[in-house]
Amino acid sequence: MLRAFKRAYLSLVKFLEASLSLISDSEIDSLAGLLESVYRDGKRVFVVGVGRSGLVGRAFAMRLMHLGFSAYVVGETITPSARAGDVLVAISGSGRTAAVVATAEVAKSLGVKVVALTSYPDSLLAKIADMVVVIPGRTKVSKEDRWEVRQLLGLHEPLAPLGTQFELVSQVVLDSLISELMDRLGLEEEDLKEQHANVEV
């Protein structure tokens, strides 16, 4: 019973643990430093991603808000205009997701600093970005790289699909980055709780 479930679970945990040695300390340090300066300078962070990468981005934006950042998800109705000095965190495993690349191009034209989280440092997104954080996970790009088209065509990858490892590692990287920012900014869990939503049941 549950052989596929346990095999997938253990595979993902093993990959997650192994991925730490593949993540560049200098890239993470640079991103943490950039976000720390954004916080101290009163600039804003915008996050963009499509599909499950978008969900990872939304979780990251929420945690940044809990830290006291002005953080927004691109495409939401309350997202303000971006200005020079703000930061866009763009998440795409392939680095070729059309909507993410287009958003990065627009942000760059506005003087926004673009950070790419991708498995492909030679991708179009990475070439646009001012800073790249390489996230291990995708071993190849799907034949159809547009997420929305894959969904419409019913093209679903096999067990632990291609994007799963990227999204899982991205989530853990960004959550760990929140802990790093808490340390750098001298914040405690109680500080985050003060920013947590309270107009809810």
The pLDDT value recorded for residue 149 is: 52
SS3 73: strand
Positions marked catalytic = 167
Mean pLDDT for the chain overall: 88
Helices and strands (H, E) in the chain, number of each type: 8, 5
- Measured between alpha carbons, how far is 169 from 174 in angstroms, rounded to an integer? 8
26's tokens: 């200098």
Q: Supply the pLDDT for residue 74.
A: 97
Structure pTM? Answer: 0.86
Residues above pLDDT 70, as percent of the chain: 86
> Where exactly are the structural domains of the chain?
22-186
Is residue 59 exposed (0-12), middle (13-18) or buried (19+ Cβ within 10 Å)?
middle
Q: How much is the average pLDDT of 71-83?
A: 96
Q: How confident is residue 196, by pLDDT bands cut at 50, 70 and 90?
A: confident
Architecture label for domain 22-186: 3-Layer(aba) Sandwich (3.40)
| Average pLDDT score over residue span 10-22 | 90
DSSP labels for 12-45? HHHHHHHHGGGS-HHHHHHHHHHHHHHHHHT-EE
Q: Which of 71-75, 103-107, 165-169 has the lowest mean pLDDT?
A: 165-169
Where does the pLDDT of residue 138 fall: very low under 50, low under 70, confident under 90, or very high at 90 and above?
low
CA pair distance 42, 71, nearest whole angstrom: 11
Cβ atoms of residues 114 and 45 within 8 Å:
no
